[in-house]
């Protein structure tokens, strides 16, 4: 009878790695050196051009998210309640005073151009020069 303590769990990754090494050892000698080198070079090139940029972007997004989350979780970004309504903290007020004009310009740039285009279009429909 087999004792449960003598049973070693089967590690599929170890088995796959051993099979892979065996196949590689068997077939590597059959593949011409230059062809093998080109296969390896192509795999490295594909990795550098496709997978690596995705990995880098994912890591940068993760780090940026953490930085932003940590910054906005600071006390100075909390909403201030006076019992009936909320108001912005002094930090947020200061940011809005500094960045407000640029923010407004960016938010309304496209709609303003659309309005100007529509006015010009209406004027030309009535034969008016602008």
Q: pLDDT value at position 2?
A: 47
Summarised one tens digit per residue, pLDDT across range 30-84 is 777 788 778 778 888 998 899 999 999 999 999 999 999 999 999 999 999 888 8
CA distances from 61 to 23, 24, 48, 51, 70 (A): 39, 37, 19, 15, 14
Summarised one tens digit per residue, pLDDT across range 67-81 is 999 999 999 999 998
Summarised one tens digit per residue, pLDDT across range 101-129 is 999 999 999 999 999 999 999 998 888 77
């Amino acid at each position: 009878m087999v004792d449960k303590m003598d049973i070693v769990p089967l590690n599929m990754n170890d088995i796959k790695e051993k099979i892979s090494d065996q196949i590689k050892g068997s077939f590597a000698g059959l593949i011409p050196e230059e062809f093998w080198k080109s296969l390896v070079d192509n795999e490295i090139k594909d990795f550098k051009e496709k997978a690596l940029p995705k990995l880098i972007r994912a890591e940068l997004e993760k780090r940026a998210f953490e930085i932003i989350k940590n910054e906005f979780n600071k006390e100075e970004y909390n909403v201030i309640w006076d019992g009936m309504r909320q108001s912005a903290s002094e930090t947020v007020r200061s940011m809005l005073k500094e960045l407000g004009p640029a923010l407004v310009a960016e938010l309304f740039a496209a709609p303003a151009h659309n309005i100007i285009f529509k006015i010009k279009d209406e004027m030309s429909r009535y034969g008016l020069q602008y």
